[in-house]
Structures are given as structure tokens and as C-alpha cells.
Amino acid sequence: MTDYPHPIIAREGWLFISLSLLAALGIGFFAGWVWSIPLWIVFAFCVQFFRDPPRFAPAGEKCVLSPADGRIVVIEPARDPWLDRDCLKISVFMNVFNVHSNRSPVDGQVVQRWYHPGEFVNAALDKASIANERNALHIRTRHGLDITCVQVAGLIARRILCYVDAGAELTRGQRYGFIRFGSRVDLYLPPDTRAKVGVGEAVKATTTILAELP
């Protein structure tokens, strides 16, 4: 099992869950439980949004694992805007009902990290890759291949969290960040990488193999 420092509920959600629970209990106690129903719905949403189950990584050194739960929206040849190279781009879109922890797709070292402020258009649109707020990691695998993993904010996402920087060693499936609320992750892979998923396919972080490296 991958490293997992805060099981079941992501630490990023503790404040939101606690406040919504206290609000629901307070309104229910002082104004009546019927009036508290909307707040219980908010509480239930926060619990499901910030759930963060442990995941098991499949075997295979050349496998690129999904960095996020969601749906594949892009598989295409592209230009990596961070490393200025031709690549295969695979994008995972996360809606508000997906687990939003981001996990490393490969074993490797973070060579560089970039943060770029931007807009908050719908993350399902390809425009989001170049217009929205985003945080990118250049990861070099143990076999010397370069991968760019980019967290992209969405329409209602207002916070990208990343807990690693240049020099960090990552293992496949290791949790490295979180995005609130609704977003996407773009992967820029070597051009001769072979995709193992299709557009529209539902994927899960760590457990789904997105591609196979050359």
C-alpha cells in the first residue's frame, strides 16, 4: 500500500467538515431540525468530497498511473508548454463527486516545479490547460524519462495545494497534492508512450494504468 498519512478523510477537509457539522447541529438545536436539512446536505457533500481512501498501485515499472480520479477528456499528440517538447498528452477531469487527492503517476524525482496564476474556466475544456491557474511538476523517472504532471484549477476550484518541490523523491501512488473544488490533471508524456485508456473512460488515481512508457 502507498504511503498514507491521513486515512479516510483528507486533512484539507477537516475544517470544512467540522464547520458544516457544527452549523447543522446548531441550527437544528436552536431553530429546529427541519431548518437544518440544507446544512446536513452541505455536511454530507463535504464528507464525500474530501474522502481520501488508500489505494494499491499495480506492478509494472513502465506503467503510468492515473494521478487523479475522474474521466479521460484528452488523449492526443501535443506540445509540452513547460518543457517545450513534443509529447503525448492525457488529461483527467475531476468533477465535484470525485476524490480530489492527487497522486504521483510514476516513481521519480521532482526536477522542477512551476506555479502559474490564471483564470477559472470549466476544467473539462481543453482551454483550461493554458488559461487556468495551474501547478506543474517536472518528474524524471528512474529510467531517465521526463514527465510533466500539471494540476489545473476548474470553474469553482479556488485552491491548488502541492506538498512537494524540486528535489523531492516520489513513489507511484504517493499523495502529493489536492485541488478544491472540481479540476483536472494534465500529463505530458514522451511521444512514443502507449496509451492504455480511451477518451470518456472513468479512471481512479493510482489503481488505473493510463499508459505504458517506452
Q: Which residues are catalytic?
A: 183
Query: Could you tell me the three cell numbers for 154?
Result: 476548474
Could you tell me the CA-to-CA distances from 34 to 13, 17, 44, 93 in Å, in that order?
25, 20, 16, 36
- Is residue 4 within 8 Å of 175, Cβ to Cβ? yes
At 6, list the grid cell: 491521513
Q: What separation in angstroms does the CA of 142 have from each of 61, 115, 170?
A: 9, 24, 10
Q: What is the pairing mode between strands 209-212 and 194-195?
A: antiparallel
